[in-house]
Amino acid sequence: MKKFRLLLILLVISMTMSAFVACGGEKNDPNEGDNPDGTVTIEFVGWGDAAELANYQELVNLFMEENPNITVVYKGESATTYMTTLKNRANNLPDLFYMPDYDFLEWVANGTIKDISSYFTAEELSTLWPQAVDEYYFDPSTNKLGKSETAGLYGLPKDLGPFTLVYNKTLLDKQIAKYGLNSEEIYAMLSATDPMTWQEFRTLLKMIDPDGGADNVYGISHYEIEAAVYSNNASFFNEDASVQTITDPNFYNAIQFIADLHLVDNVMPSAADQISTNGYQRFKGQGCVFSFMGPWDCAEFWKTVNFDYDILPVPYNGENPEAESTAWVGSMGYCVSAKASKAKTEAAVKLAKFLCYNEGAQRKFYELGQQVPNIMDMANNDYLSETNELLADKNPPSRSVWVDTINGRSETDLVGGKVRSRYYTYSSDWFDSFTEWLSTQKMWDGNVTAEQACKSYASTFQAFLDEMRANLGG
Amino acid sequence: MKKRMSKVAKKEARVAFAFILLPIIGFCIFTIGAMIFSFKYSFENYNIFTGESKFVGWKNYSDLFKNVLYSASFKNSIKNTVVLLLSIPLSMGMGLLAAVFVKSGKVKGGKFFQVLYYIPVVSSAVAMNIVWRYIFNNEFGIINLLIGEKIAWLSDDTLIKVAIIAKNSLNGIGTAMILYLAAMLNIPKDYYEAAEIDGASKVRQFFKITLPLITPITFYQLITGLIGGFQSYADSQVFGAGVQGAQTIVYFIWQRGINQSRYGLASAASILLALAIMIITMIQFKMSDKWVYEE
């Protein structure tokens, strides 16, 4: 019995110790992966569906053929679990990994991402969209984002994608025929360069959906909050994200505009119906004429939808002289682990450069419907005028809307884009909290106005901003 | 005087110990170990990126109830979790009824019903939640199609709880039925024969013999049901898709801890949840003396 007790005590001690070992911080060997024969092995982790991962593997293989001394172990994750996996590996990150722009600040401010400025010349970067590259500058001395004299470059853009209005052309033609509308008059409103005002858009939606979705076809699936807020010259907070601005009339009027699409015009499904079928599903299922899409949606749309569609700039408030069509623009970066050895950093940067601005790789990406090219020249020429005939007759024909939105220019100078608000803040949960507040207040059902909902949430939102600034030492 | 173990008994003990060794190791590392670390982190502000921790005392615990950013959602998650526990007595009641009918032999194809009711138990919780989500869909769900009205089961804060309780009650019938049936079949027939001779009706037999003698199973189901109910997560994440009316305490812990990197706060909520489960279980055990049958 004594022996048994002794055995048990030893077992408990060893298990307790192993638990400590398991939870202890990992020590990275700075030279791990630098092979004695001069070759280097790096780990690259990204996300995407099976097709996207296969495309990436193909490009990674091509990169390895061109760089025989570098072995890339590429791993893909589903988008929904990617950030959780990455966070669990925060102390042992892959050498190269994706970083969504809205999580960038938290990761870079905590020192997990390497400053890779010294690996680039200004000339190299000048070929890329400056809006995209500038997103990944950060100054650790001030904890501020954006390009400045003291800021370093902490990532290369994987892409830059505007989330613009899209319409189902096939379904629109059916609605025009069904309600005996003037086709020319309607198509005249759908300009790729001259965005509609909110007022015009509401009129159009009521024309094509006069029965409030009774025929299971709504005018629009949902409305992007940031597209409305930005297109009414409003914002969630001031320039340095220190003071909330949701009590500004421009802000809550934008929210009210969205609510009224259901409450007043009845051209958008109720909040309850939007929960059971989201905008993406409804658009793909031809349950609405208008919705929103980004360039990354093309790959899936080309495979699965059997109708014609095209994109448009997002509408803006025509009654606000300061307002212009402004879509949100999302980006993701290629970042290098702060703990990567010199040889691995060099290899990782080389791969990031290849994926970010190698002409062949960029052509492959847009051919596969994954993004607008990062290289400005390629986007403005090859991509728009189809000189390489890579896109054939693929939708959407008005790809110029995406390029204009990134560029912030068009014939009428009314089309632009702006980075998502969450990019500027230390964490993103305030956005979910805000939208949850609007739902629980039943603002979308008309129980309170947008003004009441925003004003009642303002102090909580300010507390969020204060907490996030405190995390940044502000 | 201590009894000495025979060689055979010692060998048997060693083999038995070897069989339970792996689960014990797993339990110590992944449960006890995790609890120790959770307890430690609940008093700290842990930064997953740097691995550094800062002692903050009771702040995480007070934040759960006082901080404007978390207190409302934490209190809401407690309320939701408690309300959703209603499905436990419902599923037990329905399971008992089903067991009585199957045992009575009056229902044709009793075995078929046993299998039918048990299918949800052996199916994946995620798959089941997705199927139920289609059934309760606000727009094209079977229930709304049958009623002929658009009821917002999946978005209304109250209705989603009704939907989850209904779903869990129906899903739980299988387990309850099988356990009750096994318990009923274990009751000696002599008791019923004696009651029959004394002129007791079937209803009286049920309430005076069956129900008291199956109380150990009722107790077992209450204990395991409550522990499982307090740890409910798939209902919030998969069925409720995160809507506020469906957020449970474990969902809160996941959302704050994993999703938002507030490990200290999530650890504090975990410790409170573990304490609540422990206290409730202890009370149940204490009270069981008064109503659970023991041979």
Contact list, A19 vs chain B (CB under 8 Å): 28-29, 32-33, 36-37
The answer to whether A60 touches A94, Cβ cutoff 8 Å, is no
Taking CB atoms and an 8 Å cut-off, how many pairs form between chains A and B? 90
Using CA coordinates, name the residue in chain A closest to B256: A429
Tell me the pLDDT tens digit for each residue of A61-79.
Answer: 999 999 999 999 999 988 8
Residue B30 lies in a domain: yes
Tell me the pLDDT tens digit for each residue of B169-199.
Answer: 999 999 999 999 999 999 999 999 999 999 9
Please report the pLDDT score of residue A31 as a whole number: 55
Please report the pLDDT score of residue A32 as a whole number: 59
Closest residue to B48, CB basis, from A19, A23, A90 = A90
- Band (pLDDT 50/70/90 cuts) for residue A397 is very high
Count CA atoms closer than 13 A to A246's CA, side-chain side: 29
Closest residue to B138, CB basis, from A12, A273, A464 = A273
Cα angle A332, A337, A338; round to 5: 125
The reply to whether residue B260 touches residue A467, judged by beta carbons under 8 angstroms, is no
In the predicted structure, residue B128 carries a pLDDT above the cut 60: yes
Residues A12-21 have a mean pLDDT of 36
A218-220 and A156-162 beta bridge pairing: unpaired
Q: Which site among B49, B76, B265 would you substitute to test the A interface, given the most A Cβ atoms closer than 10 Å to its Cβ?
A: B49
Do B149 and B282 fall within a single domain?
A: yes
Task: Give the Cα separation of A334 and A336 in Å (integer).
Answer: 7
Closest residue to B68, CB basis, from A15, A427, A460 = A460
Is B47 in the A-facing interface, judged by CB distances under 8 Å? yes
Lookup: tokens for A316: 């803006």
Residue B208 lies in a domain: yes
Cα angle A179, A182, A186; round to 5: 100
Task: Give the Cα separation of B214 and B187 in Å (integer).
Answer: 8
Q: What percent of chain A has pLDDT over 70?
A: 92
Alpha-carbon distance B78 to nearest alpha carbon in chain A (angstroms): 17
Element at A78 (helix H, strand E): none
Please report the pLDDT score of residue A109 as a whole number: 95
Using CA coordinates, name the residue in chain B closest to A213: B139
Residue A62: name the closest of A285, A354, A403 by CA: A354
Do B17 and B134 fall within a single domain?
A: no
Is B281 in the A-facing interface, judged by CB distances under 8 Å? no
- Band (pLDDT 50/70/90 cuts) for residue B167 is very high
Residues A119-141 have a mean pLDDT of 94
Q: DSSP letter at A138?
A: E
Please report the pLDDT score of residue A285 as a whole number: 95
Q: Which site among B69, B126, B150, B267 would you substitute to test the A interface, given the most A Cβ atoms closer than 10 Å to its Cβ?
A: B69
In the predicted structure, residue A389 carries a pLDDT above the cut 80: no
Alpha-carbon distance A275 to nearest alpha carbon in chain B (angstroms): 7
Do B169 and B261 fall within a single domain?
A: yes
Q: What residues form DSSP beta bridges with A98?
A: A334
Do B261 and B194 fall within a single domain?
A: yes
DSSP codes of every residue in B211-242: HHHTHHHHHHHHHHHHHHHHT--HIIIIISTT
The answer to whether A195 touches A415, Cβ cutoff 8 Å, is yes
- Band (pLDDT 50/70/90 cuts) for residue A5 is very low
Is B152 in the A-facing interface, judged by CB distances under 8 Å? yes
- Band (pLDDT 50/70/90 cuts) for residue B151 is very high
Tell me the pLDDT tens digit for each residue of A229-241.
Answer: 999 999 999 999 9
Task: Give the Cα separation of A337 and A74 in Å (integer).
Answer: 15
Residue B231: name the closest of B176, B172, B274 by CA: B274
Task: Give the Cα separation of B57 and A362 in Å (integer).
Answer: 52
Residues A171-188 have a mean pLDDT of 96
Residue B12 lies in a domain: yes
A288-293 and A218-220 beta bridge pairing: parallel
Task: Give the Cα separation of A333 and A97 in Å (integer).
Answer: 8
Q: Which site among B138, B142, B160, B251 would you substitute to test the A interface, given the most A Cβ atoms closer than 10 Å to its Cβ?
A: B138
Lowest mean pLDDT segment, chosen from B1-5, B138-142, B277-281, B283-287: B1-5
Residues B64-80 have a mean pLDDT of 93
CA A472 to chain centre: 23
Contact list, A464 vs chain B (CB under 8 Å): 69
The reply to whether residue A111 touches residue B49, judged by beta carbons under 8 angstroms, is yes
Tell me the pLDDT tens digit for each residue of A197-226.
Answer: 999 999 999 999 999 988 889 999 999 999
Residue B53 lies in a domain: no
The reply to whether residue A467 touches residue B69, judged by beta carbons under 8 angstroms, is yes
A17 to A221, B28, B29, B286: CA distances (angstroms): 55, 11, 9, 35
CATH of the domain at B253: 1.10.3720.10
Helix (H, G, I), strand (E, B) or coil at A332: strand
Element at A100 (helix H, strand E): strand A96-100
Please report the pLDDT score of residue A4 as a whole number: 37
Residues A323-349 have a mean pLDDT of 96
Q: Report the amino acid identity of residue B279.
A: I
Closest residue to A110, CB basis, from B36, B49, B141 = B49
Q: What residues form DSSP beta bridges with A197?
A: A316
Tell me the pLDDT tens digit for each residue of A412-460.
Answer: 677 889 999 999 999 988 999 999 999 989 999 999 999 999 999 999 9
In the predicted structure, residue A409 carries a pLDDT above the cut 70: no
Do B97 and B4 fall within a single domain?
A: no
Contact list, A84 vs chain B (CB under 8 Å): 258-259
Helix (H, G, I), strand (E, B) or coil at B143: helix
A299 to A82, A282, A295, A399: CA distances (angstroms): 20, 18, 8, 14
Task: Give the Cα separation of A361 and A155 in Å (integer).
Answer: 18
Residue B85 lies in a domain: yes
Task: State the angle between helix axes of A198-208 and A249-263 in degrees (0 to 180), rounded to the nearest 10.
Answer: 10
CATH-assigned architecture of domain A40-161+329-385: 3-Layer(aba) Sandwich (3.40)
Q: Which site among A108, A275, A441, A445 would you substitute to test the B interface, given the most B Cβ atoms closer than 10 Å to its Cβ?
A: A275
The reply to whether residue A23 touches residue B33, judged by beta carbons under 8 angstroms, is yes
Residue B164: name the closest of B193, B187, B133 by CA: B133
In the predicted structure, residue A188 carries a pLDDT above the cut 60: yes
Only one residue has tokens 């009286």, namely: B204
Residue B72 lies in a domain: no
Closest residue to A276, CB basis, from B2, B28, B154 = B154
Please report the pLDDT score of residue A410 as a whole number: 65
The reply to whether residue A91 touches residue B47, judged by beta carbons under 8 angstroms, is no
Q: How confident is the prediction for chain B on average, in pLDDT? A: 91
The reply to whether residue A112 touches residue B157, judged by beta carbons under 8 angstroms, is no
Lookup: tokens for A251: 């802000």
- Band (pLDDT 50/70/90 cuts) for residue A390 is confident
Do B26 and B147 fall within a single domain?
A: no
Tell me the pLDDT tens digit for each residue of B215-234.
Answer: 999 999 999 999 999 999 98
In chain B, which ranges are E strands? 44-46, 53-55
Do B87 and B19 fall within a single domain?
A: no
Do B218 and B277 fall within a single domain?
A: yes
Please report the pLDDT score of residue A30 as a whole number: 53
Higher pLDDT, A350 or A29: A350
Write out the residues of chain A at the interface with chain B, using a CB-CB cutoff of 8 A: 1, 4, 11-12, 15-16, 18-19, 22-23, 25, 84, 87, 90-91, 106-107, 110-112, 269-273, 275-277, 427, 429, 433, 436, 439-440, 459-460, 463-464, 467
Could you count the other beta carbons within 10 Å of the beta carbon of residue A232? 26
Please report the pLDDT score of residue B187 as a whole number: 93
Q: Taking a contact as any Cβ pair under 8 Å apart, which residues of chain B between 179 and 218 contact chain A? A: none
Please report the pLDDT score of residue A9 as a whole number: 39
Classify domain A164-327+405-471 by CATH number: 3.40.190.10
Lookup: tokens for A392: 């054939």
Do B197 and B277 fall within a single domain?
A: yes
Q: Of the ranges A324-333, B146-155, B281-290, which is most confident?
A: A324-333
Task: Give the Cα separation of B146 and B193 in Å (integer).
Answer: 47
Please report the pLDDT score of residue A34 as a whole number: 67
Residue A133: name the closest of A141, A142, A144, A122 by CA: A122
> Domains in chain B: how many in total?
2
Give the structural domain span for B181. Answer: 78-291
Residue B55 lies in a domain: no
A144-145 and A137-139 beta bridge pairing: antiparallel
Task: Give the Cα separation of B291 and B30 in Å (integer).
Answer: 35
Contact list, B138 vs chain A (CB under 8 Å): 272-273, 275-276
Domain boundaries, chain A: 40-161+329-385, 164-327+405-471
B27 to A15, A129, B20, B272: CA distances (angstroms): 10, 53, 11, 20
Tell me the pLDDT tens digit for each residue of B105-118.
Answer: 777 777 787 788 88
Contact list, B150 vs chain A (CB under 8 Å): 272-273
In the predicted structure, residue A22 carries a pLDDT above the cut 50: no
Contact list, B36 vs chain A (CB under 8 Å): 19
Residues B268-280 have a mean pLDDT of 94
Task: Give the Cα separation of A385 and A343 in Å (integer).
Answer: 40
The interface predicted TM-score (ipTM) is 0.79
In the predicted structure, residue A411 carries a pLDDT above the cut 70: no
Alpha-carbon distance A165 to nearest alpha carbon in chain B (angstroms): 24
